[in-house]
Structure 1
Amino acid sequence: MHRDALRIYLNDHLSGATSGVELARRIARTHRSSPRASELRRLADDIAEDREALRELMGILGIPPHRYKIYSGWAMEKAARLKPNGRVLRRAGLSTILELEALRMGIQGKYMLWRALTPVARLTEGISTARLDELLDRAESQLATVEDLHLTAAETVLSREGS
């Protein structure tokens, strides 16, 4: 196992996971009165649990989390809110579409992380390949959920006449 590469890789994913949790929570908060609010809350909770699973795996591997990576992930999500969305004072529907696309990319990256850790698990006592399989299954479910939410948002925003 290449310890330095693993340390950098996992801390980079921890940064991304921090951004993903913040983004998923913000999407859930923004749409708390929508018909799909409970689905969005569950998605945000699952993404937060996945971040904790990553931290647990890092602990098993003896890889400390780098605080600056955590803070940079948090700050990146906040900075992404500053993008122009075609409206000055209120939220645009395009924001939801782009946020769901960013969330999907993060989930895809997380899926690839769990896949990449499978050979490491075979070499490491304390990391279960069955646990990684569960995390992979959950990532696939999250991808399906986000794709469905994205399709709904795109149909609503991009197909509406006069938008």
Structure 2
Amino acid sequence: MSTTIEPRLLSIYLNDHVTGATAGLQRVQRMASAYDRPSLAAALSRFEQEFTEERQWLVRTAVSLGVTRNKPKALLASVAETVGRLKLNGRAVEQSPLSPLLELEILRGAVLGKLSGWQTLEAHAAGLGLSPEQVEHLHHLQRQAVAQKDTISALLEEIRPEAFSS
């Protein structure tokens, strides 16, 4: 089944994913500065590098497909991510043991969303005119997202026992 790519829908889709990639990167950077647990710090450092590279690739690909960046949407996402940090966690000043659990759960959801995005771009690669190199990179990005999800799942198993401790 061959379908025609509607440029407006592609623009919305890619701008949403760039916006999500920006918010995800900001969250990982903030988490990296907030948590000093060695296993978490190592994973977040790796994620920061990977998320940066993924976002750059996504922006370059969007530009190569003629998509114009929706700056107001990006700004709104940045503000939303910042406001999301202000959630009440039951502790006025100190960090709650619940915080890393909740943030990792949010991060895992974001990683699954981006995995779906890579899969969707691959499914439409021919219609988008993606090069074989771009398609191969999408395969790499999918494998990387699965590895990120697995790492986050392992970290969740590690910190769950402490989540409700006083």
Q: Same fold (TM over 0.5)?
A: yes
Quote how far apart the aligned CAs of 1:98 are.
0.8
1:142 alignment counterpart: 148
1:131 alignment counterpart: 137
Quote how far apart the aligned CAs of 1:76 are.
1.1
Unaligned 5+ runs, structure 1: none
Provide, for residues 96-137 of structure 1, a one-character-per-residue CA deviation record: whole Å limited to 9, x for no partner. Answer: 111111111111110000011013222333442111101100
**1:105 partnered with 2:109:** yes
Unaligned 5+ runs, structure 2: none
TM-score by length of 2: 0.90
1:40 alignment counterpart: 44
The percentage of aligned residue pairs carrying the same residue is 31
Runs of 4+ deviating beyond 2 Å: 123-128
**1:50 partnered with 2:79:** no
Mapping 1:1-163, distance limit 5 Å: 1-31=5-35, 33-36=36-39, 37-127=41-131, 128-158=134-164, 160=165, 163=166
* Residues 122 and 129 in structure 1, CA contact (< 8 A), matched pair in contact too: no
Instruction: Find the aligned partners of 1:9 and 1:126 in 2 and give their Cα distance.
Output: 16
Provide, for residues 9-43 of structure 1, a one-character-per-residue CA deviation record: whole Å limited to 9, x for no partner. Answer: 11111111111001111111112x32222222111
Specify which structure has the bigger relative contact order, considering alpha-carbon pairs within 8 angstroms and separated by 6 or more residues: 2
TM-score by length of 1: 0.91
CA RMSD for the aligned pairs?
Answer: 1.4
Equivalent pairs counted in the alignment come to 159
